[in-house]
Chains A and B, each alone.
Chain A
Amino acid sequence: MLVEIITPDAKLFEGEVSSIKLPGTNGGFEILNDHAPIISTLTAGEISIVLDKGQKESFEIHGGVIEMQNNKIIVLAD
C-alpha cells in the first residue's frame, strides 16, 4: 500500500510499505494492507513503517491526522 507522510513544510516520506504503526489519540495502532477506510487523529509520538523489503523507518511527530482509503494512506503530520 502507498503511504504519504506530509507536514506543512515538507514531504517526509512517500512509498510502498507493508505496514505502518501510528500513535492514535486513543492509543497506538497498526495498519496492514487492505485495511478498511479510516480517519483518525494522532498525538505526539513515533510513526514506524516497515517497507516492502523489510527495512524499517520511523518519524517523530507532534500530532496530526491520518486518512486511509483504497490502500492509500495519507498522514498529515505536524
Chain B
Amino acid sequence: MANLKEIRTRITSVASTMQITSAMKMVSAAKLKRAQDAITQMRPYAEKLREILVNISSTLEGSAEGVYSQERETKKVLIVAIASNRGLCGAFNANIFKAAEKRIKEYAGKEVQVYAIGKRSADYFTGKHTVFNSNAEIFNDLNYEHVAVMAQEVMDAFVEGQFDKVDIIYNEFKNAATQEVITQQFIPVVADENEAVNVNADYIFEPSKTSIVVDLIPKSLKIQFYKSLLDSHASEHGARMTAMHKATDNAQELKAELKLTYNRQRQAAITNEILEIVGGAEALKQ
C-alpha cells in the first residue's frame, strides 16, 4: 500500500498536469476562434467564385477543355494528406493516416506518392511510403499567398504528367467537437452536373467566356486547396480543445480519488497512533 508521502506527490503531479491541460484547452479555444473566423471569411469568396464558374460553364457550348480536367489513365497518384504540426489532439492525426492507408490500398498496383502537410504527417509517411514533398511550415503562417504557391506546385506536377490524379485527405470542420475526414479528388476536376443553374442575365464577357473559364479554374482549385487547409486547421484546434477538456476532467476525477485515499490513509494512521498510545498507557497502569 502506498504511503502518505507517495500519495501526496501523486496529487501534486496530477494537479500540475491538470493545470497544463486546462491551459492548453484555453489556448486552443482562442486559436479555434481565429481559425473559425478565417473559414467564415473565406466562404463567401469560394461560393461567389463557384457561382460565377457555374454561370459561365452553363452558357458555354461544349466543355472548356482545360488542362486540369483532363482524364488520363490512372497510373501515378498523389495523395495530399493534411495533418497537424503538433500532437495531443485526440484521434485527429490518426484518422487522417487511417484514411490515407485505406486510399493507398485502393490504389494497389499503381504508383502512389504522398504530399505530407504538417509535421505529424511527414513523420508518419516518411519511410512508409514514397513522399513526394512535405511541408511543416505552412501552419505557422496560414495565408492564401503561401497556400497558392503550394497548390500551384501540385497543379504543375499534374500538368507535367508526374501524376494522373491527385486526392486530398483532410479533416472537415463541422463544429468544435466534431470533425469529419474527407477524401476528395482534387485533380482532374470533376464537373458537378446537378448544380442548380440560374442564368438570369445576359452577361458581357470580357475578354471571352473560354478565357475566363481557363483563368478561373486554377483559381478555384487554389481556393479549394486553401479551404481544405483552413478546415483542417480549425478542426485541429477543435480536436485539441475537446481532447484537453477530457484530459482536464479525467485529472479532476483522478485527483478526487487520490484525495479520498489520502484522507483515508491519514485517518488510519491517526487511529493506529491513538491505539498505540492507549495501549501503551494501559500497559503502564498495570
- Point out residues on A near B: beta carbons under 8 Å: 6-11, 24-26, 29, 36-41, 65, 67, 69-70, 74, 76, 78
Contact = CB atoms under 8 A, between A and B. Distances in A.
A8 B48 CA distance: 11
Given A7-B144, A9-B143, A65-B212, A74 B48 contact: yes
Contact of A8 (B42, B207, B215): B42
A70 B200 CA distance: 11
Given A65-B212, A76-B48, A8 B223 contact: yes
A22 to B, nearest CB: 10
A40 B20 CA distance: 53
Given A7-B144, A9-B143, A65-B49, A41 B212 contact: yes
B45 A25 contact: no
B45 A8 contact: yes
Contacts, number: 76
Chain B at the A interface: mostly helix, strand, loop or mixed? helix
29 contacts: A6-B44, A7-B45, A8-B42, A8-B223, A9-B38, A9-B42, A9-B144, A24-B206, A25-B211, A25-B215, A37-B202, A38-B204, A39-B52, A39-B56, A40-B207, A41-B206, A41-B207, A41-B211, A41-B216, A65-B215, A65-B216, A67-B48, A67-B52, A76-B45, A76-B48, A76-B49, A76-B52, A78-B148, A78-B219
A30 to B, nearest CB: 13
Contacts of A69: 201, 203
A32 to B, nearest CB: 14
A10 B211 CA distance: 26
Centre residue among B143, B206, B212, B219 by max chain A CB count within 10 A: B206
A39 B42 contact: no
A25 B143 contact: no
A42 to B, nearest CB: 10
A25 B203 contact: no
B42 to A, nearest CB: 5
B211 A6 contact: no
Interface string B88-121: 0000000000000000000000000000000000
Contacts of A40: 204-207, 212
B226 interface: yes
B206 A39 contact: yes
Contact of A38 (B203, B215, B226): B203
Nearest to B226: A8
A25 B215 CA distance: 11
